[in-house]
Amino acid sequence: MATYNTSDFRKGLKVEIDGEPYLMTEMQFVKPGKGNAFYKCKMKNLVRGTSLDRTYKGGDSLQSADVETTDVSFLYRQGEDYVFMHQETFEQYEVSKAVAGDIWKYLRDGMVCTMTLYNGNAIIVEAPNQVELEVVDCAPGAKGDTATNVTKPAKVETEAEFIVPGFIKVGNVIKVDTRTGEYVERVSN
């Protein structure tokens, strides 16, 4: 397995510390007036989501993490688990609800998602940044409510609820940002 020297340190690097994969979220090179230079690094544990601050001096090295990112398509939900299929090898991955997190709000059959694997096991599943979902239930808009800040909850085909503008009706297709969970725009009537 490859190793990274301090000269290779950069934001986005995936390394292994104490047998667990970490993503380097910040890296700052510090050269004090006196003494040796050092590297202040912030890292996020890819399995647990916890953060870690570490300082390394010049010449230190870290092991690269056996992390692979690949495209998978959502097949179906099986109890509390979600089943995805690799786009090229057709290998199937069963992902627990704990790993999937809130992705269920956006999953439609056949949707292509990004999966991060560590030693062959799924540790992160991400939906596309924006998805289109059909509204299946919402309160009717009140006549005369034309103010732009009038909102209401709307249930979509995935059984999730999102806050939408008052003009959205059942049958509309809306675009939702998966990073924030917020309504973006109406796609069709």
Q: Which residue has the higher pLDDT, 149 or 51?
A: 51
Fold of 3-64: SH3 type barrels. (2.30.30)
The reported pLDDT for the residue numbered 84 is 92
pTM above 0.75, yes or no: no
CATH 2.30.30.30 domain span(s) along the chain: 3-64
84-132 pLDDT, tens per residue? 999 888 889 888 888 888 888 898 888 999 998 888 888 888 889 999 9
CATH 2.40.50.140 domain span(s) along the chain: 67-126, 130-188
Q: Output the six-digit token pair for 152.
A: 């209401």
Sheet of 173-177: strand order equals: 161-165, 151-156, 130-138, 173-177, 182-188
9-27 pLDDT, tens per residue? 888 888 888 888 888 889 8
Quote the mean pLDDT of the chain.
86
Of the CATH numbers 2.40.50.140, 3.30.70.270, 1.10.630.10, 3.20.20.140, which one belongs to the domain with range 130-188?
Answer: 2.40.50.140
CATH number of 67-126: 2.40.50.140
